């Protein structure tokens, strides 16, 4: 029975909560960190205790919860994310239009981040070629610490303020391109250093963070701040913050690709035919558009290499 263990209640206030151990808002009981001036990384501009992403969870005694209650509370927190995204759609819209403007003129889109944020950027970038048939160099994901950091944490890689731009330079980033810095905290030196240098050199810049008035936002043209609140596990920004970042990246890349003409109707007509499932999907798209039988639609797809080219050739044959 779920009632066998004491259910931990959720509270948003700062007053003492009798159903949990200690104050709901534990900030007052935490000793502040070393002042910024004596810390080695000058771009850590926000006090640790003021960042929403570091504030205590609305829940406590998590190890005492049943599996059902753990899942129910995580799910309740996840429901916050799309509501926050809805409120910041105008900020995302501005980024989409700015990215499209540059990519339509031959520019590229870069995502740069560290840890979870960097991995999410790489994920989004790596899915653009198979989904939309674009060259691998159109959308590029960069992570602090290099490719090894995709699978293993690279200690202190995110603290190198200068390395971000050096990693962009390795791809010959230039004024035609657009850089999106991704950092849940909005304080990551690697990311801030990258967008700051990029903006100084004429590249378009945006930042995705989950703290209000984050330093990252101050160094980009187009800030996106998805403040989703404290994490279920305090400070674990791979949870709500990561979900918010993934949704925003989906929206940016999908909308830009549609505007660049990489979707016909609602179909991925330029997708790469990299497996049997996608060949079957492409065949059925052609059938729906042309009325051809399966075998003939599949023959045309394999002959021309994409749904788009198969449809164009079919149109030529019938004009």
Q: What pLDDT, in 10s, does the model give residues 160-199?
A: 999 999 999 999 999 999 999 999 999 999 999 999 999 9
| Sequential DSSP letters for 223-260 | EEE----S-SSTT-TTTHHHHHHHHHHHHHHHHHHHHT
Only one residue has tokens 């499932």, namely 277
Reported confidence tier of residue 155, pLDDT bands at 50, 70, 90: confident
DSSP one-letter string for 125-155: HHHHHHHH---TTSEEEEETT-GGGGTS--T
Task: Indicate if the alpha-carbon torsion angle 32, 36, 41, 45 is positive or negative.
Answer: positive
Q: Which residues contact 304 (CB under 8 A, 6 or more apart)?
A: 310, 312, 313
Whether the per-residue pLDDT at 19 is higher than 80: the answer is no
pLDDT digits (tens, 9 = 90+) for 189-229: 999 999 999 999 999 999 999 999 999 999 999 999 999 99
User: What per-residue confidence (pLDDT) applies to 156?
Assistant: 86
Cα 103 off chain centre by: 19
DSSP string over 148-180: GGGTS--TTGGG-TTHHHHHHHTTT--TT-EEE
Tell me the CATH architecture of domain 1-262: 3-Layer(aba) Sandwich (3.40)
Instruction: Give 264's strand partners.
Output: 267
pLDDT of residue 50: 57
Q: Is 123 exposed, middle or buried (0-12, 13-18, 19+ CB in 10 A)?
A: middle
**DSSP secondary structure string for all residues of 31-47:** PP-S-GGGSS-TT--S-
| Residue 278 CB neighbour total at 10 angstroms | 16
- Tally of CB atoms within 10 A around 302: 13
**How far is residue 150's CA from residue 157's CA, in Å, rounded to a whole number?**
12
Torsion of CA 241, 95, 47, 238, to 10 degrees: 20
Q: Evaluate whether 173 touches 179 at the Cβ level (below 8 Å).
A: yes
Band of pLDDT at residue 141, cut at 50, 70 and 90: very high
CA 297 to chain centre: 37
3-state helix, strand and coil shares in percent for the chain, rounded to the nearest 5: 50, 10, 40
| H and E: helices and strands count for the chain | 11, 5
Highest average pLDDT, of 14-18, 121-125, 151-155, comes from 121-125
Reported residue count of the chain is: 319
User: What confidence tier does 153 reach under pLDDT thresholds 50, 70, 90?
Assistant: confident
Q: Where are the domains of the chain?
A: 1-262, 276-317
List residues with catalytic annotation. 127, 158
**Mean pLDDT (the chain, rounded):** 87
């Amino acid at each position: 029975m779920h009632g066998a263990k004491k259910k931990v209640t959720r509270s948003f206030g700062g007053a003492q909560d009798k159903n949990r151990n200690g104050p709901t808002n534990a900030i007052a009981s935490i000793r502040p960190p070393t002042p910024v001036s004596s810390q080695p990384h000058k771009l850590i501009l926000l006090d640790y205790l003021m960042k929403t992403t570091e504030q205590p969870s609305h829940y406590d005694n998590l190890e005492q919860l049943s599996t059902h209650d753990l899942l129910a509370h995580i799910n309740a927190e996840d429901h916050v994310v799309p509501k926050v995204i809805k409120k910041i759609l105008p900020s995302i819209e501005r980024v989409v239009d700015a990215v499209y403007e540059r990519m339509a003129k031959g520019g590229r889109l870069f995502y740069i981040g560290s840890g979870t944020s960097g991995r999410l950027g790489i994920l989004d970038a790596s899915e653009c070629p198979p989904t939309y048939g674009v060259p691998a160099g159109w959308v590029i994901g960069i992570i602090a610490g290099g490719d090894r950091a995709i699978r293993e944490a690279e200690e202190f890689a995110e603290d190198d303020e200068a390395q971000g731009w050096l990693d962009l330079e390795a791809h010959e980033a230039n004024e035609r391109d657009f850089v999106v810095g991704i950092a849940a905290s909005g304080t990551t030196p690697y990311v801030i250093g990258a967008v700051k240098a990029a903006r100084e050199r004429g590249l378009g810049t945006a930042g995705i963070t989950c703290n209000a008035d984050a330093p990252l936002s101050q160094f980009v043209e187009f800030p996106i701040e998805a403040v989703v609140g404290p994490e279920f596990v305090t400070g674990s920004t791979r949870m709500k913050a990561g979900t918010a970042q993934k949704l925003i990246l989906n929206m940016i890349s999908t909308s830009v690709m549609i505007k660049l003409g990489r979707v016909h109707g609602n179909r991925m007509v330029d997708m790469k035919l990299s497996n049997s499932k996608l060949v079957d999907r492409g065949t059925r798209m052609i059938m729906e558009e042309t009325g051809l039988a399966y075998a003939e639609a599949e023959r045309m797809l394999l002959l021309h290499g994409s749904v788009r080219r198969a449809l164009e050739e079919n149109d030529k044959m019938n004009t």
